[in-house]
């Protein structure tokens, strides 16, 4: 996460598969707590789109950090299209300090089963 001098932020997410395949996604948004969460989650969605080569489409519907159980929980909601029809998935990540990173990890948690089934069935 990079905070820019013009009041915006830029996130870069890198994913690695089998230690040799690398995928990246980036996004830019407003430099606020909500803006940084959305920016990080969107960058992760773009990296996943690159990893799936467009066979599965992901759309970020929402991302929010909430205080629960004496910690910050980042929750994301995604629409998934492509193989298997359209559906919505939700993921969360318990984040103590870096909520932007937590947003990207929540996206991965939301897509775990969908991508696990697709990637292991190759």
The overall average pLDDT reported for the chain is 89
Please state the separation of Cα 85 from the chain's center in Å: 20
Give the gyration radius of the chain's Cα atoms. 14
Q: What fold does the segment set 2-120 form as a domain?
A: Double Stranded RNA Binding Domain (3.30.160)
Residue pLDDT, tens place only, 87-108: 899 999 999 889 999 999 999 9
User: If we measure between CA atoms, which residue out of 14, 12, 59 comes closest to residue 40?
Assistant: 12
pLDDT at residue 86 is higher than 80? no
Residue pLDDT, tens place only, 42-73: 999 999 988 888 788 899 999 999 998 888 99
Q: What pLDDT is attached to residue 121?
A: 56
**Band of pLDDT at residue 119, cut at 50, 70 and 90:** low
- The residue-averaged pLDDT of 103-115 equals 91
Reading the block at residue 30, the tokens are 């407003």
pLDDT at residue 8 is higher than 70? yes
Q: What pLDDT is attached to residue 55?
A: 81
Q: What pLDDT is attached to residue 81?
A: 87
């Amino acid at each position: 996460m990079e905070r820019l001098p013009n009041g915006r932020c830029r996130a870069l997410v890198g994913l690695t598969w089998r230690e040799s395949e690398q995928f990246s996604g980036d996004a830019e948004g407003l430099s606020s707590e909500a803006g940084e969460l959305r920016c990080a989650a969107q960058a992760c969605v773009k990296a996943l789109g690159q990893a799936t080569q467009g066979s599965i489409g992901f759309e970020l519907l929402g991302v929010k950090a909430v205080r629960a159980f004496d910690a910050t929980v980042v929750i994301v909601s995604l629409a998934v299209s492509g193989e298997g029809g359209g559906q919505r998935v939700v993921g969360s990540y318990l984040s103590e300090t870096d909520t932007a990173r937590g947003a990207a990890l929540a996206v991965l948690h939301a897509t775990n089963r969908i991508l696990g089934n697709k990637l292991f069935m190759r």
